[in-house]
Amino acid sequence: MSELDTIYDFVNYLSEKEKAIKKKILIGASGEEEILAYYYREQSENNSLIGSINGPNLLSNEGFFLDEGLWREYKYEGGFEERNFLRKNSSFWDSLIQDFSKHVLTGKVGLAEDQPFSLHEKAIRFLAAECRTSRYYLSSALVEKIREVPENRRSARLMKSVQDKDLFYIFLVFPRNKSRSDKDYRLERLGYNHSYSLVAKYLYPELKNIVVIANDYLNEERRSEDVVAYDYNRSLSLEECKLAAELYEEVGILKSVNRYTDNSVFGTLGNKPYRNKDKIYRRNGMCPCGSGKKYKKCCMS
């Protein structure tokens, strides 16, 4: 339980073991840790997100028995340190799940308290469904994004889930306007959350689910975070396409941001996105809250 500490990893391990036993691939083992070591070894050798339990010779119908010593070899060969590295460097993602879950269960969700519980639960479910390796890459990309954005600069990163091809994340760093109240700031940021998800769907029609994680910039004293899930398992309407095009052109949403991808599993992060250099908002641009009005006639006033 301490090793397989995400629900995805735990369930996949049990499923792999069940299939191996039913197919008589795995006849027996001297201990659970030996099966787990074999599972992890297959993951490393196949450079995959999760492990597997296949026989040494897939063409043979003979099963195999896992003798004592595999776990000891796994620890000495460096696999154990690799797992600890992933766990340590994905703890930020774990803390997001814990914090958001606590806020939802205690009803402390700020301006979104009028939204149904199921909507909050869905956003957390996406975060919690990621396996340990995926959490490492998502954490690395999110923390790196927060750290690199200077004060008073709106910037975003679009990143595909490592394990779910239908899920994309938008990491948004949104600066505060010192002259506005916390409530006004949060309202404005929520409007941008929706605008970024809409433009992302407009630019990449294949997207089905989008989760926006929005933050203040790193050194803000009164930091807060949003996590919002958007279901786009449909095509945008003509009105939505028109609004998304205007937000893209006039407000600069995702206009100079590359999609953040890294197809390797155990490698270095790459394909750094360009930072959005446009102004935070424009007087005559479309209001990011999604009202369809110009900014000067909407939230600016």
Greatest CA span in the chain, whole angstroms?
75
Instruction: Give the pLDDT score at 258.
Output: 54
Cα(199)–Cα(210) distance, rounded to whole angstroms?
11
Radius of gyration of the chain (CA): 23
Instruction: Give the pLDDT score at 264.
Output: 43
Partners of residue 158 on adjacent β-strands: 170, 259
Residues 285 and 295 sit within 8 Å (Cβ to Cβ): yes
Instruction: Give the pLDDT score at 181.
Output: 81
Residues 151 and 193 sit within 8 Å (Cβ to Cβ): no
Instruction: Give the pLDDT score at 275.
Output: 42
Cα(96)–Cα(3) distance, rounded to whole angstroms?
20
Instruction: Give the pLDDT score at 6.
Output: 94
Instruction: Give the pLDDT score at 242.
Output: 95
Beta strands (DSSP E) in the chain are: 26-29, 64-66, 155-160, 167-173, 209-215, 225-231, 259-260
Q: Produce one character per residue of 132-153: b if its CB has 16 or more CB atoms within 10 Å, e if not.
A: bbbbbbbbbbbeebbeebeeeb
Partners of residue 213 on adjacent β-strands: 171, 227
Instruction: Give the pLDDT score at 241.
Output: 95
Instruction: Give the pLDDT score at 268.
Output: 35
Instruction: Give the pLDDT score at 259.
Output: 54
Residues near 129 by beta carbon (within 8 Å), at least 6 away in sequence: 7, 8, 164
DSSP 79-135: HHHHHHHHHHTTHHHHHHHHHHHHHHHTT--GGGTTS-HHHHHHHHHHHHTS-HHHH
Looking from the CA of 113 toward its CB, the CA atoms found within 13 Å total 8
* Domain residue spans of the chain: 7-85, 141-297
Instruction: Give the pLDDT score at 108.
Output: 65
Average pLDDT per block of 10 residues along the chain, 301 residues long? 90 95 92 93 84 70 86 84 88 90 72 65 92 92 85 85 89 83 84 93 92 79 80 94 93 73 41 42 56 61 48
Cα(143)–Cα(137) distance, rounded to whole angstroms?
10
Residue 206's SS3 state is: coil
Residue 225's φ and ψ, nearest 5 degrees, are: -140, 150
